[in-house]
Amino acid sequence: MCENLARRIGLSLAVIGLLIAFPVPAPAQTTVRFRVQLHVSADDSIKDAALAALRTAVQPIRDVEIADRDAEYIVSLVILRTLGDSYVASLAVMNVHTERAVQQLAAAWQVGPDTAQRMTAMFKGAGALLDQRILTGPDLTLVCADVATALNTDILAPARRVR
């Protein structure tokens, strides 16, 4: 009986030793790949509700962080209530080359430090209009859900493939 107990204790200690030597990694967390800044222009009566609906629609996108500044993507939404109590919105999505984004590109391209500095000096702050469209819907929630879908599938999905 003592021999059996000693064997079990020895086996338990061996397992504990292995766990210490080779810890089990924590489950992988989704990393933030895209920092997105949200801008809403609207009548004062709907502006706060539209921004809240847009934030709620974008937050579930798995690799997006909503930022107040220094974002790589800017989502600009101009939204109006129509006479029929529905909504029409003009959406523009732009990218901005942040210092972090330029440095990530330089690292991915494996350029030297001097070239990386020149790239940062040349491209930091530059950007482009990536998408522009008109959206309509019966309420703010649906219009903002359409914005989030467009951002996720038409803008970020292609960017994910190259990162």
121 vs 137: CA distance, rounded Å: 42
For residue 61, the model assigns a pLDDT of 96
The model's pLDDT over 24-47, given as tens digits with 9 standing for 90+, comes to 444 444 576 899 999 999 999 999
Q: What is the mean pLDDT of the chain?
A: 85
Say which CATH class 31-162 falls into: alpha beta
The domain spans of the chain are: 31-162
**pLDDT at 57 (0 to 100):** 98
- pLDDT of res. 66: 96
Amino acid identity of 86?
Answer: S
Chain segment 111-160, per-residue pLDDT in tens: 999 998 998 899 888 889 999 999 999 999 999 999 999 999 999 999 88
Residue 113 belongs to what H/E stretch?
A: helix 113-123
Q: What is the pLDDT of residue 124?
A: 87
Of 110, 150, 152, whose CA–CA distance to 134 is shortest? 150
- Whole-prediction pTM: 0.72
